[in-house]
Structure formats: structure tokens, C-alpha cells
Amino acid sequence: MVSGPSDQGNGQGNDPHAPLDALGKRIDAMENRPSVVAPKVKARSAEDSSAFGRAFKLSTEFVAAVAIGGGMGYLGDRVFGSGPVLFLVFFVLGVGAGFLNVWRAAQLINARAAELAKEASADQGLDFTCDDDDGDDDGRPKGRAGRP
């Protein structure tokens, strides 16, 4: 007697769907097992999701401030017939407003980064202060070369 693939001692008889049923049971077992708990990670806000996103946001705000300032100056010149005077004034004001927005956003990003670094070091028990026992916190002990 010739034995077929279903009769080779797997105990499943002649059921052609037995391998699929076994695979389905294995998949169900994998789906129902407890998952590995990931370490606690703070959720990021949409604003803080990536450096590229922040750069795009800052550049868009800068361009918008310059365009609005220039547009207001152009319209003012058209209404009052004052030549390019209002355009130049409002264009410069728009550039100033754009730089101010970028500077404020950079300060905010730096403050957040410092806060996150401080929290991360506190979570790990690290202390990044540098005390070299001479009172100036420069990280170098007294008498090192290149120091007065």
C-alpha cells in the first residue's frame, strides 16, 4: 500500500484542511498570548514629532510673515499712491516678525530639549553637573595646563 502525504503518521487522517486548522490554532494562540510591555515612553505631541516637521513649520511661518508684510505694504502703496515706501517699510516689518517668530520657536524647542534631557537623566539616576571642587564648575581641576 502506498502512503499519501496525509497518512504519514501525523495523526490527522484524510482531512485536507488539517494543516490549515493547525495553523489557525497557532495564530490564535499567538494573538491571545500576553504581549511584552514596552518601557514607559512619553507621548509626543504632533508639534514635536520630527525635526523636519518643525523646520517646515518655522520656514512656513517665516515666509508667511514676509508675504503678509509685503502684501500689506503693496496694498498701502496702491491705495495711497506713495510709491514703494510702504512696501519697503512693511516688507522689513514682515522680515522682522518672521525672525522674531523663528527665534521664539527656537527658544521653546531648546527649553523643551533641556527639560527632556533633565527628565531622562533623573529617570536614569544620572547627574550631569560638574563639580571639580574648586568652585568654578568648568570641569577641570586646579592647576591644569591652559588655565590661569
The span from the CA of 107 to the CA of 104, in Å, is: 5
- The pLDDT of residue 76 is above 80: yes
pLDDT band at 70 (very low <50, low <70, confident <90, very high): very high
- The domain segmentation of the chain, as residue ranges, is 50-123
- The pLDDT of residue 1 is above 50: no
Q: At what angle do helices 51-80 and 85-123 cross, to 10 degrees?
A: 160
pLDDT band at 95 (very low <50, low <70, confident <90, very high): very high
Question: Residue 42: what pLDDT?
Answer: 54
The span from the CA of 128 to the CA of 118, in Å, is: 9
The span from the CA of 74 to the CA of 78, in Å, is: 6
Task: Kindly report the pTM of this predicted structure.
Answer: 0.49
Q: What's the grid cell of residue 118? A: 533633565
Q: Using alpha carbons, list the distances in angstroms from residue 122 to 115, 128, 129, 144.
A: 10, 10, 12, 31
